[in-house]
Amino acid sequence: MSAPLQEPRRYAAFLSYSHSNDDVALWLHRALERYRVPKRLVGQPGGHGPIRRRIGKVFRDREELSSGSDLAAKVQLALDESDFLIAICSPEAARSRWVNAEILTWKRLGGADRLLCLIVSGEPGASGIPGREHEECFPPALRRRLGPDGELSEEPAEPIAADLRSGKDSKPDALLKLVAGLLGIGLDDLKQREQQRRVRRMTGAAVAATLLAVGMGFLAVRATIASEAAQRRQKQAETLVDFMLGDLGDKLNEVSRLDIMESVNDQAMQYFLSLPPDDVTDEALAQRSRTLNKIGRVRWNQGSLATAIESFEAALLLTAELVERHPDNVERLVEHAETLSWLGTVHWNSSDLDAALRRFENSMKALEHAATLAPADTGVQLRLSWLIGNIGHVHERRGDLAAAETAYEQALGICQQLVAGEPGNRQWQAELGDALDNLGKLAFLRGDLVEALAAYGRNDALKRDIAAADAADYLARGNRAISLQILGRTLIHAGAVVPAIERLQRAVQLFEQVRLHDPSSPANVGSQASSMFDLAVALRIKGDPEAALIHADQAGSMIAAMKVSERDEVLGAEQVQAINLERVRLLATVGRWDEAQHQLATLAAARDELLARDTLDVDALQLVASHVLLAATFATARDQADQAHRDAGAALALLDRHAPETRTPTLLALRLEALLLLARRDEARKVADLLREGGFAQPDLVAMLRAAGLPFAVDRSLLTRITVGLPPLD
């Protein structure tokens, strides 16, 4: 432990970092300055003197020196006035001469024992590994000790580091490691105090919820005593319910007390269901419907679809009553439409497509009426485009691509009108991009990769410009990453593997920036992991399975670290299964057959659960057929020809049953693989022709065809047109 500090300096810590890690530096700067030391530690002796209530001020040169003219002198002064230096370590920081100079100056000031590190990417010690030098995350001044002459010696240093890389420290744990170092106390002691504080918060929230629930029940009972008093207490009760479902609900979610939240929801529902929809003002009815909608959304987020429907149905009775009273009131029509839309969404999640379509269409009627009453209301137009897009999704999932196209084109037209009215509105541009994405997917399902890539490319160009307009807009950055991921994934099928890898690599980078900005969001973790697996697929197809397996393992670690509920909500069980299957394929590609077969066997239960369904959509069918064909491939490798033939036949039977007339490239590719394994060359040739017509030229499948003696001529001119027409990466 370092010696106690004689007198606290102006800054508790000096942050040294590369510009590429601005987002992490901003988070750390705010987190340290806002951190409150647990009360039971304040005043106790620490390694650097009595522990203060706050960490203190943190120096971040990008913020403090924005107007300074003498950067070197100001940095020197800030270093002199800092108790600690925290180095944010990444390959970019390792190559930054400024970061290295700051660390070297700090050591020369005698601060080597008051130097902490936060690793965000790269690999410590990679500079000593041939071929991986570019991954080094520690600057030279951090890797080596200072000699008596004030220069760096050859003696290696061992810096203390928190680690934000995937599979290492979570953001809260990394913060606590750094706080423990700054306070000079043991990490375990700090964690114990933090846990005690968390327990107290949970207890407080639970007690508050219980008291409020009792209070709500008391008010509800009192509300029936007298007419005038009833209205007043009714309003009090409903205001209380609104608070419980809002501010208190957020606090209960933070401390994972969903059981209390469910109890609050149930009591609130019983209360509202006991109230008649008449004899009350319009505003009171509207307030009740909004609260019931809020209960429905909470239940939907918790995965309780049946009770969510109950809440939305109760709200629908009230919004319908309000529309009946005021059929030409735009606000009432919009609220009614949104309640119907939520019901459609819950039915969609319940796989009740008929009910979902009915709700969406009724919602559209209400919104269309609102649009005729208020044609200049862009909010109504935006909601209408969303709703029509949802109707398209239902048609698409039912296999009615013509009806889906009609809906998507209508939604696209609305978005184009919004953009034409306000060309500089980035939200309208983003909505236009999403509409193009829907049409791109439809083209893909029809087997037209060229049209799909054209739509995806226009979407990516829009998302690129939106993200470039505001560097602090991480939502726009994440949307750009999604468009790049979709574009890259489709380019693989078209045979443009190198451009696909470039876009997927960029998507991974952008998702990492978004995740570091908000590491608490499971969606950010899941998005980055998903894009890393797509990159692994591209690298395998390119012929680099070892690099592919590294990316797959990293992504797998990220997914494994997620809570099961978060993982299923963000990625979905089917996508997780697809990711696991790709890893099995990679293991087999690099010759790790035993491990691959073992992992494939562990996925059988999820496959059988899908097989039990009466119908399979495109994603589920692709998943099951891929699993069965992998088993056939393994049987072939073991010289078990009969078993391979049975598995390939089973895969083909699945495709014949669920998608006999499909032109979707991914399903056609699986059909082709099954036919080749069954040596049905004539049928395989016909499927290959269909794929070629749509622009399909995935290299591994082309190689499989040629190995079977079925030449597949790749249209190089088409490939060139596709790649030339792509929007630039930045």
pLDDT digits (tens, 9 = 90+) for 279-315: 467 877 787 788 788 778 877 766 678 888 988 998 8
Residue 639 tokens read as 């010289």
Residue 497 · residue 699 · CB < 8 Å: yes
Strand-strand pairing, 144-146 and 152-156: antiparallel
Kindly indicate the confidence band of residue 631, based on its pLDDT and cuts at 50, 70 and 90.
Answer: very high
Residue 70 tokens read as 């003498």
Residue 561 · residue 554 · CB < 8 Å: no
Q: Which of 523, 433, 446 is nearest to 486 (CA)?
A: 433
The per-residue pLDDT for 591 is: 87
Quick one: average pLDDT of 231-260? 46
Quick one: average pLDDT of 641-652? 94
The per-residue pLDDT for 676 is: 93
Q: Is residue 542 part of a domain?
A: yes
Among 65-74, 294-303, 452-461, 651-660, the least confident range: 65-74
CATH number, residue 712: 1.25.40
**Distance between start and end Cα atoms, the chain:** 47
Q: Is residue 254 part of a domain?
A: no
Number of other CB atoms surrounding residue 472 within 10 Å: 10
Distance CA 146, CA 100 (A): 13
Residue 130 sits in the same domain as residue 165: yes
Distance CA 606, CA 608 (A): 5
Q: In the predicted model, is pLDDT for residue 49 greater than 90?
A: no
Distance CA 516, CA 23 (A): 7
Q: How far is CA 430 from the centre of its chain?
A: 17
Q: Is residue 257 part of a domain?
A: no
The per-residue pLDDT for 683 is: 94
Q: In the predicted model, is pLDDT for residue 248 greater than 50?
A: no
Q: Which of 332, 295, 287, 337 is nearest to 312 (CA)?
A: 295
Q: In the predicted model, is pLDDT for residue 532 greater than 90?
A: yes
The per-residue pLDDT for 162 is: 92
Distance CA 677, CA 665 (A): 18
Residue 16 sits in the same domain as residue 157: yes
Q: In the predicted model, is pLDDT for residue 235 greater than 90?
A: no
**Which residue, of 588, 612, 635, is where some domain finishes?**
588
Q: Is residue 200 part of a domain?
A: no
The per-residue pLDDT for 206 is: 45
- The pTM of this model reads 0.63
Q: In the predicted model, is pLDDT for residue 214 greater than 80?
A: no
Q: Is residue 35 part of a domain?
A: yes
Distance CA 165, CA 170 (A): 8
Helix/strand/coil for 447 = coil
Distance CA 28, CA 36 (A): 14
Kindly indicate the confidence band of residue 502, based on its pLDDT and cuts at 50, 70 and 90.
Answer: very high
Strand-strand pairing, 11-16 and 58-60: parallel
CATH number, residue 582: 1.25.40.10
The per-residue pLDDT for 290 is: 81
The per-residue pLDDT for 272 is: 54
> Between the CA of residue 173 and those of 123, 179, 181, 186, 662, what are the distances in Å?
19, 10, 12, 13, 50
The contacts of residue 648 (CB under 8 Å, 6+ apart) are 628, 629, 632, 674, 677, 678
DSSP 36: B
The per-residue pLDDT for 200 is: 52
Residue 562 sits in the same domain as residue 618: no
Residue 636 sits in the same domain as residue 699: yes
Q: Which residues pair with 14 in a beta bridge?
A: 59, 85
Residue type, 120: V
Q: Which residues pair with 163 in a beta bridge?
A: 119
Kindly indicate the confidence band of residue 225, based on its pLDDT and cuts at 50, 70 and 90.
Answer: very low
Residue 573 sits in the same domain as residue 610: no
The owner of tokens 């040169």 is: 61
Quick one: average pLDDT of 376-405? 92
Crossing angle of helices 665-677/618-637, nearest 10°?
Answer: 30
The per-residue pLDDT for 264 is: 53
Residue 617 sits in the same domain as residue 581: no
Helix/strand/coil for 273 = helix
Q: In the predicted model, is pLDDT for residue 251 greater than 70?
A: no
Q: How far is CA 418 from the centre of its chain?
A: 27
The per-residue pLDDT for 562 is: 82
Kindly indicate the confidence band of residue 275, based on its pLDDT and cuts at 50, 70 and 90.
Answer: low
Distance CA 520, CA 654 (A): 40
Q: Is residue 491 part of a domain?
A: yes
The per-residue pLDDT for 509 is: 95
Distance CA 300, CA 308 (A): 5
Q: In the predicted model, is pLDDT for residue 533 greater than 60?
A: yes
Q: In the predicted model, is pLDDT for residue 693 greater than 70?
A: yes
Residue 666 tokens read as 């991914």
Strand-strand pairing, 49-50 and 58-60: unpaired
Quick one: average pLDDT of 606-615? 80
Q: Which of 639, 710, 627, 712 is nearest to 676 (CA)?
A: 710
Q: In the predicted model, is pLDDT for residue 632 greater than 70?
A: yes
DSSP 129: S
Crossing angle of helices 573-589/545-561, nearest 10°?
Answer: 150
Among 204-208, 285-289, 308-312, 411-415, the least confident range: 204-208
Residue 567 sits in the same domain as residue 674: no
Among 339-348, 373-382, 605-614, 655-664, the least confident range: 605-614
Q: How many helices and strands in the chain, by DSSP H and E? A: 33, 9
Residue 569 sits in the same domain as residue 697: no
Helix, strand and coil in the chain, % to nearest 5: 70, 5, 25
The per-residue pLDDT for 267 is: 56
Quick one: average pLDDT of 556-578? 80
Instruction: Locate all alpha helices (DSSP H) within 543-663, ordered by sequence.
Output: 545-561, 564-570, 573-589, 593-602, 604-611, 618-637, 641-658
Among 19-23, 382-386, 543-547, 582-586, the least confident range: 19-23
pLDDT per position as a tens digit, 417-461 = 999 999 988 889 999 999 999 999 999 999 999 999 999 999 999
Residue 560 sits in the same domain as residue 615: no
Residue 730 · residue 708 · CB < 8 Å: no
CATH number, residue 128: 3.40.50.10140
Q: In the predicted model, is pLDDT for residue 350 greater than 90?
A: no
Number of structural domains (the chain) is 3
Mean pLDDT of the chain: 83
pLDDT per position as a tens digit, 115-151 = 999 999 999 988 888 888 888 999 999 999 988 888 8
Kindly indicate the confidence band of residue 258, based on its pLDDT and cuts at 50, 70 and 90.
Answer: very low
Residue 645 sits in the same domain as residue 572: no
> Between the CA of residue 397 and those of 166, 445, 479, what are the distances in Å?
35, 11, 23
DSSP 590: T
Q: Which of 24, 80, 81 is nearest to 56 (CA)?
A: 81
Residue 670 sits in the same domain as residue 714: yes
Q: Which of 310, 312, 306, 275 is nearest to 290 (CA)?
A: 312
pLDDT higher at 365 or 398: 365
The per-residue pLDDT for 188 is: 78
**Which residue, of 128, 160, 185, is where some domain finishes?**
185
The per-residue pLDDT for 507 is: 95
Distance CA 393, CA 400 (A): 10
Q: In the predicted model, is pLDDT for residue 517 greater than 90?
A: no
**Which residue, of 185, 201, 236, is where some domain finishes?**
185
Q: What are phi and psi of 693, to 5 degrees?
A: -60, -35
Q: Is residue 551 part of a domain?
A: yes
Distance CA 712, CA 701 (A): 10
pLDDT higher at 653 or 5: 653
The per-residue pLDDT for 199 is: 52
- Structural domain including 503 reads 473-588
Residue 83 sits in the same domain as residue 106: yes
Residue 609 tokens read as 């659960």
The per-residue pLDDT for 690 is: 92
Distance CA 210, CA 401 (A): 51
Number of other CB atoms surrounding residue 480 within 10 Å: 28
Identify which of 1-10, 265-274, 472-481, 600-609 has the greatest average pLDDT: 472-481
- Residues 346, 347, 353, 358, CA torsion sign: negative
Q: Is residue 394 part of a domain?
A: no
